[in-house]
Structure 1
Amino acid sequence: MNKVKHLLTVLLSVTTFTTAYPAFAESSQPTSNANQTNEQTRARIHTELGAGYFSRGQYAVALEELRDALSADNRYAPAYGVMGLVYMELKEDKPAEENFQRAMDLAPGESEIHNNYGWFLCTRNRFDEAIKQFNIALGNPLYPTPERALTNAGICLLQANKPDDAQGYLEKSLKFQPNQAQALTKLAQIYFQQGRLFEARTLIERFFANNQPTAEALWLGVRLARKQSNKDAEASYGLQLRRQFADAPETQLLLQGKYD
Structure 2
Amino acid sequence: MVKGGYRKLNYLKILTVISMLCVIACATTATQDALQQAGAHYKIGVAYLNEAKAQQAFVEFQKAYELNPNDKEVLNAIGVIYLLYFDETAKAIEFFEKAAKVDPNYSDVFNNLGVAYEKLGRFDTAISLYKKAVSNPLYSTPDKAYIGMGNSYYRLGKYEDAVSSYKEAVKRSPNLSLSYMRMALCYNSMGRYGDASTAMTHAINLDHVYKGDREKALDDFTIRMLKTSGYEEKDIRDYIEILKY
Give TM-score, length-normalised by structure 2.
Answer: 0.70
Partners of 2:102 and 2:189 in 1: CA distance:
43
State the Cα distance separating 1:92 from its structure 2 match: 2.4
Partners of 1:180 and 1:63 in 2: CA distance:
29
Alignment of 1:29-68 (within 5 A): 39-68=34-63
| Structure 2 residue 75 is the aligned partner of structure 1 residue 80 | yes
Contact 1:174 1:183 in 2 (8 A): yes
Contact 1:63 1:86 in 2 (8 A): yes
Unaligned runs of 5+ in 1: 1-36, 219-235
Contact 2:204 2:217 in 1 (8 A): no
Contact 1:179 1:206 in 2 (8 A): no
Contact 2:45 2:58 in 1 (8 A): yes
State the Cα distance separating 1:74 from its structure 2 match: 1.9
Q: Higher relative CO (CA 8 A, sep ≥ 6), structure 1 or 2? A: 1
2:223 is paired with a residue whose SS is coil
| Structure 2 residue 208 is the aligned partner of structure 1 residue 212 | yes
Partners of 2:134 and 2:168 in 1: CA distance:
11
| 2:216 corresponds to which of 216, 230, 240 | 240
Give TM-score, length-normalised by structure 1.
Answer: 0.66
1:18-75: CA deviation from partner (whole Å, max 9, x where unpaired): xxxxxxxxxxxxxxxxxxx554444334223323434544332122100121233221
Partners of 1:154 and 1:66 in 2: CA distance:
31
Unaligned runs of 5+ in 2: 1-31, 227-235
| Structure 2 residue 141 is the aligned partner of structure 1 residue 145 | yes
| 1:161 corresponds to which of 136, 157, 161 | 157
Alignment of 1:1-40 (within 5 A): 39-40=34-35
Contact 2:177 2:202 in 1 (8 A): no
State the Cα distance separating 1:101 from its structure 2 match: 1.0
Partners of 1:74 and 1:241 in 2: CA distance:
44
Determine which structure has more spread, i.e. the larger CA radius of gyration. 2
Identity, % of aligned positions: 23
Structure number having the greater helix percentage: 2
What amino acid does structure 2 have at the position aligned with 1:76? D
Partners of 1:128 and 1:190 in 2: CA distance:
18
Partners of 2:225 and 2:170 in 1: CA distance:
27
Partners of 2:197 and 2:149 in 1: CA distance:
23
CA 102–244 in structure 1, closer or farther in 2 if over 3 Å, else same: closer
Partners of 1:112 and 1:253 in 2: CA distance:
31
Contact 1:40 1:76 in 2 (8 A): no
